[in-house]
Each structure stands twice: as C-alpha cells, then as structure tokens.
Chain A
Amino acid sequence: MGLLTILKKMKQKEKEVRLLMLGLDNAGKTTILKKFNGEDIDTISPTLGFNIKTLEHRGFKLNVWDVGGQKSLRSYWRNYFESTDGLIWVVDSADRRRLEDTKRELESLLLEERLAGATLLVFANKQDLPGALPSKEIRANLELDNIKSHHWLIQGCSAVTGENLLEGIDWVIDDIASRIFTMD
C-alpha cells in the first residue's frame, strides 16, 4: 500500500460521522430518519431490529443507526454504542405518561462509557401535535441541565412536517466536527 493510498483512506475516513438514534418506541426515530432522507413516511412500521442509512450532508458522510425502541429491544442498544460520534435521543413530546421512562433510559445511556465522547442531541419530536409539551418543558422534565458529561442540545421538531430536523442535525455535525476534524 503506497503512501497515496493511505492518505486517500484517511481522507475518506475523515469526514465520516456515526450517529446513533435511540429513544422509546413510538418516539418517531424511523420517521425522522426517513423524512430527513426524503423518503415516504406513510408506510413505516414499528421497527423490529434496526435501520441503517448512509447520507451525504454538507460534505459529511453520515452513518445513521436507528435502533428499535420497544422494551424488548432496549437491551440490544448496547451493541450499537461502539465508536458513536453523536447520540440522537428522540422523545415523543405528546407521550406525557412515559416522560419518566424516557428520562431514566437516557440517564443510563449517559453513564455508558462507550458513549462518553458523544455529542447529545435531544429531539423533542411531534411538536405538530397540539398536546405536545414544548421543548422547554421536556428539557426540565428530563433534567437536561444536569448533564455536564456531554455537549447537548434540545431541539423541538416534527418528523411529520420536517420542521427543525435540519437544524438539529446541523448542530450535531458542527459540534462533532469541532471536536474531531479541527484538531490541527
């Protein structure tokens, strides 16, 4: 392998970002992924297993992992932690009854060593529903302000309308890029 090949390899690797999308079932993870990718969202079934998509965005190669959120699948989340640059935590803002569950699951994720370096984006999804809690309230309920271990941002959004998806993803990429790609 010549030097040029090595350099090329490094360059390819350079702008690759791995995003892991998790959250309780019915939060809208797959819908966010498909909407962001411009796909049809009317035929999405509850995810049994996971979806992976590679997207080109702003010159970055995004590898997005969307893992099913059903209770029986959560124990498999750990299999996807390795080399994650950004964690996208999706919340159904209208599911007030399970806010406590989503808080607890997120807290245990943030203690996970393999996610220690990851940027955290919380999508307060389903803002198109009139009963959705605003992102400010989700932030208070999840006690996000206590998080000192990760860079984080909460972004209200709607996967159905596509509102604010881009803003959230752009922030994640910017934050990751400022950590990883501008070392020198």
Chain B
Amino acid sequence: MSTDLAKKQEAIANRLQKKAEESQKKRDDRENSSVLLEQTDFFHSSFTKARKEIESTLATSDEIPKSKLTDHFDAMTISLQKMKKFVTDSSAFLVSYDVEKAQQALMDIFYAVHLKREELIPKKKFAFKSKKKATSEKPVPQTQSVQATKPKVEVDMTDCRFTEQSGRKLYKDSQELQSKDVALSKLTDCDVLLDGSPSAIHISLLRNCRIFSGPVSSSIFVDDCVDCTFVLACQQLRIHSSTKSNFYIHVTSKAIIEDCQDVLFAPFNLQLPLMSDHYAISGLNKDINNWDAVDDFNWLASDSPSPNWAVIPEGERVPSWDISDFA
C-alpha cells in the first residue's frame, strides 16, 4: 500500500516538474522570438531607411554639377557597401527569405547606381582589370548575363589533319606528326597510317575506315565512328557514340566508352619500323597495357559486365597488319 502511495506521489511530482519546465520553455521561446522580432524589425526599418536615402540621392544625380559627380557616386557606393555589410551581419538572425530579398534589393540598387554612373560619367568604363571597382559595381542582375548574339567565329580544324575523303590511303610520317595534335574527320572507306608519335588525336565521323597510329603521348578521342578498325597506342582513350568497331589498343591508363555498342577490344599489335623510337618520344610505358580494362560510362553496375563491349577471342584477332602499301 505504501509503495503505491509513494509511486503516486512520485508521478505527481514528475508531472508538476514537467509542467513547470514546459511553461518555462514557452516563456523562453516567447522571449526569444520577441527579441528576434525586435531585431528583424530593426533590420527592416534600418534597411528601408538606408535604401530610401540612397534612392533619393540617386534621384538627384541629374542636378549634381559635373565636377562633383565622382564624389557623388563614390559616396553612394560606400553607402551601398555599408548596407551590404549590414545585411551580411544581420544574416545571423534573419530568415533566409529575408536575406535573399535584401540581397536582391541591394543588387537592384547597385545596378541602378551603376547605370546612372555609366550614363553621367561615360568615360569611366567598367573595366575588369581594376579589381576594386569591379567588386563594387559587379552585381548586374543575372537574367541579363548570357546573351548569344555575336556572329559565331569560324573555327577551322587543326593543320595536321585528314578530312572529308573517301576511298583513300592516307599517310603522315613521323616528322609531320612529331608532338602534333591530329584531327581525323568525315572519312569514308579510308585507311590512315600515322607513322610517328603525335601528341593527341581527335577522331570523328568515320565510316568503314582503318586507322593505324604509333604511340600517342596523351589522349585519343573517338566520336561517332561506325564499322571501323583502330590500331592505337596512347595514354587515355575515350570512345563516344560509336558502333560495330574494333580496337587493337595499348592504353597505359584506361579506355572508356560512352553511348557505344558492339565495340570490341584486343591488344595492340602494330609493327612499324621505327616503333621503339616513337615509344621513346611518346614516353609511354611499353610494359603497362590495360587494353581490356574498359570503363563503360553507361554501365555503372560493377556486378555484371557491360553488354556494350567485349574482348575479341584470341583466335579471331587479326594477327598482323599489312601496312606496306602506304605511301
């Protein structure tokens, strides 16, 4: 009986304490929020006041004599910077919506002041080089940021290239290729031999072609090729949007495919008379060849292999390439 009573008393005591805590918490909350509200009110009234001041100063700009214009605008810039700092300092207690709104309002005034300044002091160009000025006058509204109006500048392919050919055998020697970047584009039914060590190769839009190259010191980029055979050595190989093509490769890092289907891989097996010299020039390590470590960027599952590429079975590989009839 007595234990029951004790329990009851304890329960009542607990309840009372809880109640007291709750009401204390409520009181605290109320106080806090009233402080917050006060701060927020203070912020809004100060901000609005400062903004109105600048706006009215800005409105008088047309009546200011020319000699005093610079001072006039500098003063406004300083006020704006103060406002900016005020917003930053106040962001600790403001809700983010208020901060954003204040920043937007600031941007608008910045822009208005900037425009007026451009109008009245036209020779003072907005120059990127003077960092100070750029900082204070930067915020042009974002919507105006990017407009593509200017006529496009024509870009030709690199000098070292083969483009728009069909049914040809095309050859470049090591002197032409030495540390060059090569472009191969829009070729149909062509055989190409790059008999040297280029720096990089960009390949695109090939149909039914065979491409042979000596060691490339950096990367080869292949895009949109169909029914082709590539025999290449390089550091990186990226293959995009290509189908039904075979790659006999030496890659010291990794080959990757993206948006490809039916691409097959085998180890590099090209023999060129000066190959070891070319390897030396390229700096490629002959002993490291990750030809079958292909990453498919459309197949990120690691537990099952990508259906987009495969290794050519040993018996089906072309054992050697006849390059004797190139020029």
Contact = CB atoms under 8 A, between A and B. Distances in A.
Nearest to B259: A71
A110 interface: yes
Contact of A72 (B138, B140, B297): B297
Interface in A100-127: 100, 107, 110-111, 113, 116, 126
Contact of B148 (A96, A126, A146, A174): A146
Interface in B166-184: 179-183
Contact of A70 (B158, B235, B256): B256
A54 interface: no
A62 interface: no
B157 A96 contact: yes
Contact of B135 (A71, A95, A131, A178): A178
Interface stretch (B15-23, B37-45, B199-207): B199-207
B295 A48 contact: yes
Contacts of A26: 219, 221, 236, 238
Taking residues whose C-beta sits less than 8 angstroms from the other chain, chain B's interface range is 35 or more
A110 B148 CA distance: 13
Interface residues of A, number: 49
A25 interface: yes
B203 to A, nearest CB: 10
A4 to B, nearest CB: 19
Considering residues A116, A137, A140, A149, which has the most beta carbons from chain B within 10 angstroms of its beta carbon?
Answer: A149
Nearest to B236: A46
Interface string B188-225: 00000000000110101000000000000011010100
21 contacts: A43-B253, A45-B256, A46-B238, A46-B254, A46-B256, A48-B256, A48-B300, A70-B258, A94-B200, A95-B202, A96-B157, A111-B145, A113-B142, A130-B179, A130-B180, A131-B159, A131-B180, A131-B182, A137-B155, A146-B146, A146-B148
